[in-house]
Amino acid sequence: MNKKAFIFDLDGVIVDTAKYHYLAWQKIANQLGIEFTPEHNEELKGVSRVRSLDIILELGKIEADQEHKDKWLVQKNEDYLSYLVDMDESEILSGVVPVLKFLKENNQLIALGSASKNARPILEKTGIISYFDAIVDGNDVTNAKPDPEVFLRAAKLLNVAPEEAIVFEDSVAGVQAANIANMTSVGIGDATILHEAKFIFPDFTHIDEQFIESLIK
């Protein structure tokens, strides 16, 4: 088999932590008197923490100085981390581990490409960090998706050309980043939202070995 780079986003793709981001952001929004719905939360998927706060402030038409922004960013992260204390392998989304195992058994390269600055501890808590040959997270990049920096860095670490990389994403920004990088984009989630992806699946339980093999050939 050929050797490809399989790059995974984290939140909403590998683990079910997107709900914790929502709860933490909602708490900030409530404090500021801003209505923040699950639909609004879709706009934050794959987006950096700093940009996410700006989007929420724009929703409420609130202008704030950097001191207040920094305070809210720290609070959001502390609230989010409090939800992760008891995190374990049960947070891994269905179908993900079989795909990771199949890729390893077939000597494929695996990387993480996430905006999260908590990616490494999450992978450790869920017991799957050993599957990853490279990890690129929010601590390693300066540009948020849809800028392709996070995916291009991951491919470079694996010494694989962008066109030989496959990206699994649950956000519009992430799919766009993969497409801009000239990588194969696989959307995980709602097809009406992720319609720009080359392939789309509701979740990993719908991805079989034949599909993975077709990507490797």
How buried is residue 38: exposed, middle or buried, by Cβ count under 10 Å (0-12/13-18/19+)? Answer: exposed
Per DSSP bridges, beta strands 199-201 and 109-113 are unpaired
Number of residues written out for the chain: 217
Which secondary structure element, helix H or strand E, spans residue 180, and what is its range? helix 172-180
Q: Quick one: which H or E segment has residue 214?
A: helix 209-216
Where are the alpha helices (H) located in 2-161, listed in sequence order? Answer: 18-31, 38-41, 49-59, 66-84, 96-105, 119-125, 149-157
Catalytic residue among 11, 79, 88, 170: 11
Tell me which residue of 70, 160, 151 sits closest to 112, measured CA to CA: 151
**Is 140 an annotated catalytic residue?**
no
Is position 70 annotated as part of the catalytic site?
Answer: no
DSSP state, residue 114: -
Give catalytic residues, as residue numbers: 9, 11
